[in-house]
Amino acid sequence: MDAKTVERWITQQRVPYPKHRFRLAALLRESEEHLWPESSPRHQFADVEAVFATRAEFIQAMPPRELFQNAQTIDMAGLSLNTLCQQYSDRDLAELVASGTTIRCLFLEPHGLHITAREQEEGHDPGVLSSLTEINIRGLIRARNKVRERESGEILLRTYDQPIRFNITVIDRRTCITQPYLPSARGVESPTFVARRGDQPGIFDTFAQVFESMWVSGKDVVGE
C-alpha cells in the first residue's frame, strides 16, 4: 500500500477497504471487530468477517503464503485441496512442518462414486478431477516422507467418499474459510466466507465441527 494511504488510516481514522482489513487482521492476528469496531456489524453477520464472490478474489486478498504463515494447525477438507497443494510451495510447506505445524488434509476419494459424480456435474472428461486429486495426494505423501524425526510437525492424510458440499479450511482453530460447491461450477468460482471464532457459537463452530466429524469417519492414506 502507498505510505500516505496507511498514514490516513492511522492519523485520520480512515477505515481500510474490506480486502485490506481482512489482510491486516490476519497479519496482526486480531479480529476486524477489534481493530475497526465501526466496520463490523456482528449483529448482522454473526462471526463472518469477510465474504468474497469467488475463491479467486479470496486468494487475491489473502494469498496462501500469508494465510498459512506461522500457523500451528491447518485442517482442510474438500475435493483436491488445490489451495495448499497447487498454490503453496513445497519449500514453504516443509518450513511449516519443520516449525511444528500439524496439517490434516481430507481429500474426496479419487476412485470413489462421488468424485465421478462431481466430474459429470462440472462437465469434465472422466478422470480429470480424479487425476488431479491423486497428484495432490502423492505430492503430500512425498512431503510427509521427508519429515524428519526431530521435527515436531506432521502431515496427516485421509480420504472420504460422500457428496461434496463444502471446502473447509480451519487455521489455528480460530479462523475458518468455507466455500460451497455449486451445481455446474468449479470450486474456484464459488463464493468464499471467512469466519473467526468468537465468544458465542457461530459459523466458525458449525464448520469446525463438520470438519471434525468428517475427519473421524475418513480413511487413512498410507502411501509409500
DSSP codes joined into one string, 24-81 = HHHHHT--HHHH-GGG--HHHHTTEEEEESSHHHHHHHS-HHHHHTT-SEEEEESSS-
Asked if residue 202 has pLDDT above 90, the reply is no
Q: In the chain, what percentage of residues exceed pLDDT 70? A: 95
Q: 107: which strand partners?
A: 159
Position 43 scores a pLDDT of 46
How far apart are alpha carbons 85 and 83 in whole angstroms? 6
Position 41 scores a pLDDT of 53
Give ∠ CA 172-178-217 in degrees, rounded to 5: 75
CATH 3.30.870.10 boundaries in the chain: 47-220
How far apart are alpha carbons 164 and 113 in whole angstroms? 11
Asked if residue 40 has pLDDT above 70, the reply is no
Query: Three cell numbers at 40?
Result: 463490523
Asked if residue 10 has pLDDT above 90, the reply is no
May I ask the CATH class of domain 47-220?
A: alpha beta
Lowest average pLDDT, out of 78-87, 128-137, 161-170, 195-204, goes to 195-204
Asked if residue 149 has pLDDT above 80, the reply is no
Sheet order of strands, 73-77 included = 48-52, 192-196, 175-180, 166-171, 73-77, 102-108, 154-160, 219-220
